[in-house]
Amino acid sequence: MSDADTTPLLSTPLTDLHRELGARLVPFAGYEMPVQYPAGIIAEHTHTREKAGLFDVSHMGQAWLVGPDHATVSAALETMVPSAIAGLKPGRQRYTVLLNADGGIVDDLMVTRPLGEENDGRLFLVVNASRKDVDYAMIEAGLPEGVRLEKVEDRALVALQGPLAAEVMAVHAPAAAELAFMSAAEMEFDGIGVHVSRSGYTGEDGYEISVPAGAAEPLARALLADERVAPVGLGARDSLRLEAGLCLYGHDLDETTSPVEGGITFVLQKRRKEAGDFPGAARILKELADGPSRRRVGFRLEGRAPAREGAEVRATSGEIIGVLTSGGFAPTLGAPIAMGYVAAGHDAPGTRVKLVVRGRELDASVVEMPFVPQRYYRKPSA
């Protein structure tokens, strides 16, 4: 038996509440996490699409990058990511990726520049649970003198997602309703000091709320007391993000995948592409110019049988052209969908393919993503 098999699972500040709510807990990224509640995955998924779902994402890594000023701290981070951090305005958040020397993705993460002159020289990072140790070691090894990483160990993180999320949040934290998509601010939630961003992982409007660990349960109970809110586990979190065409690190992205292959070239802003001063720039810029050898695409399956990660993708001629990285049933569509990588020349929407599941070929077509339209909040024009 390996060490990993005997290492006790970590808990979050909401683990006792999950048990009280009847959650089925499973190991995930070293934590004991709720995969579903008694209502079931499809009901949780649908509730999030129609109202608001509450997710415990406290297993994610939270940290501060701290230095003398924004110019210094952003320059340090830009040596590791391809995004333009220097121009990030106070109160704004950016999705980016840590890159290795070959242009492969070490992790995807969120970077926020907080509001306030007192926060100049501080960037708030949220990284994937399974990559915390890898990310932190990489970041610390690459920092110049005068810039440090401060890991946050005493806070929880919850996400409230869905079309009614803003109405629910406004009851407890009126300032949340004023946030634009991909912006963030410190505010009070029923008198509790919290850090709130208008972002999430479902394709819906919503928020991620960083809260002191000791206040996480009162905050979660306050939200769950609203009939518009239901607890949601990892199962529906996965089906929601798949419908939205969003990547899951370790499945759709890994250290061999470039941002171009992964279809997330929006992480590269113009200044960084022109400078070519990020890890793996030679590969990434070549792929931008000439096209990559493979691309992440979406698949819509015929029939009701799903195809899962690892299934071969074959051309109608029988040639193996790729592999699935995510797949499952899409409750919103009432049909199975999948994502994966296919060789260049086979990635055009409408391309017919075969997905091999336990020796059986399932008919499918390449389709554009997202599978379900994303409904992120956009502030009305003045």
Indicate the pLDDT class of residue 379, thresholds 50, 70 and 90.
Answer: confident
Q: What percent of the chain has pLDDT over 90?
A: 97
Residue 146 neighbours by CB distance under 10 Å? 13
Please enumerate in sequence order all residues whose Cβ is within 8 A of that of 356, keeping only pairs 6 or more positions apart, or say none.
311, 312, 313, 314, 362
Q: What angle do CA 315, 317, 320 make, to 5 degrees?
A: 45
Q: At 353, phi and psi to the nearest 5?
A: -140, 170
Tokens for 328, please give them: 């499952």
pLDDT score for 380: 73
Q: At 234, phi and psi to the nearest 5?
A: -65, -30
DSSP class of 199: -
pLDDT averaged over every residue in the chain: 96
**Strand (E) or helix (H) holding 45:** helix 41-50
Type of residue numbered 325:
T
- Helix or strand or coil: residue 140? helix
Distance CA 152, CA 62 (A): 5
Tokens for 268, please give them: 């590269």
- Helix or strand or coil: residue 23? coil
Radius of gyration (C-alpha) of the chain in whole angstroms: 21
Q: Is the dihedral of CA 272, 277, 280, 283 positive or negative?
A: positive
DSSP 52-71: EEEEE-TTSEEEEEE-SSHH
pLDDT score for 382: 44
Q: What is the largest CA-CA distance in the chain?
A: 63
**Strand (E) or helix (H) holding 77:** helix 70-78
Q: What's the whole-model pTM score?
A: 0.96
Place of tokens 């079931």: 40
pLDDT score for 106: 98
- C-alpha dist (Å) from residue 367 to 163, 347, 352: 25, 9, 10
Type of residue numbered 98:
L
Q: Which tens digit of pLDDT belongs to each residue from 204-254?
A: 999 999 999 999 999 999 999 999 999 999 999 999 999 999 999 999 999
pLDDT score for 7: 81
Of 300, 273, 305, 233, residue with least CA distance to 32: 233
pLDDT score for 125: 98
Distance CA 264, CA 270 (A): 14
Hey, which residues does 25 pair with through a beta bridge? 34
**Cβ pair 62, 126 in contact under 8 A:** yes
Read off the pLDDT of each residue in 161-185 and give the average, rounded to a whole number: 98
Tokens for 193, please give them: 């000091």
Q: Which tens digit of pLDDT belongs to each residue from 120-133?
A: 999 999 999 999 99
Tokens for 201, please give them: 């992982």
Place of tokens 């790729």: 322
Distance CA 200, CA 230 (A): 16
